[in-house]
Structure 1
Amino acid sequence: MIERIETGQRMSKIVKHNGVAYLCGQVGDGDSVTAQTQDCLARVDALLEQAGSSRDRMLQAIVWLADMNDFAEMNAVWDAWVPAGHAPARACGEAKLAHPDLKVEVIVTAACD
């Protein structure tokens, strides 16, 4: 069974299938990479909870940065957020994001109930 949560015309915020939750990409508010990453990861936390999961159940994360020069700044927030011993498989790359003010986007897949 496939369960779609907060489904709109273009996308669902969460899709659950066979014990896995797929979250749509999350961005955050703020002027700095630090602020946007913190807000983005808070949004990921909320979606994980809604999906019946948590950050210690993450399987994979994909991080898009508008500028790879922000890699260390984003990682400082990321490393403090990921529970010790529960780091997901992760990729990080540079991409032109949907709005010029956006600096980071995170996509997470996690085990769920």
Structure 2
Amino acid sequence: MSNITRIDPNHRRSRVVVHGDTVYLAGQVAADTSGDITHQTKGALANVDAMLARAGSDKSKVLSATIWLSDLGNFKAMNEVWDAWIDPQNPPARSCGEVKLARPDLLIEVIVVAAR
């Protein structure tokens, strides 16, 4: 059985869990939620980059992504940022939906599974 590594755990969750060669990220949101969807998407993806790096991975190894938007009206603007961020040679499986996020200031949350 492979070792399990937990990065930044607390009583409720770990920000990253690595099991074998698979990296699981908790939902990533922008640190600064005062901006619009473009600003928040860039912030959330910057956090994804940082967490993947801590786990020894990067966006070229993303296997799947789940994107939650507070309003699907932001889908096009979010995709513009996503398309500029994602490795076009290695696009992941992806889903996107509208949900009520944990706080009203949050416009996007990104959850990623990646290889190492």
Structure 1 and Structure 2 fold alike (TM over 0.5): yes
The code of the aligned residue for 1:80 comes to A
Q: Give the one of 83, 87, 91 matched to 1:83.
A: 87
Match of 1:111 in 2: 115
Q: How does 1:1-113 map to 2 (within 5 A)?
A: 1-28=3-30, 29=32, 30-112=34-116
What's the TM-score, normalizing by structure 2? Answer: 0.94
TM-score (normalizing by structure 1): 0.97
Instruction: Kindly report structure 1 stretches of 4+ aligned residues shifted beyond 6 Å.
Output: none
Identity score, percent? 50
SS in 2 for 1:91: strand
Deviation track 1:21-76 (CA, whole Å, cap 9, x = no partner) reads 00010011232000000011001000000000000000000000000010000000
- CA RMSD of the aligned region, Å? 0.7
Aligned residues: 112
Query: Which residue identity lines up with residue 25 of structure 1 in the other structure?
Result: G
SS at match of 2:24: strand
Equivalent residue letter for 2:24: Y
| Distance in structure 2 (CA, Å) of the matches to 1:7 and 1:27 | 17
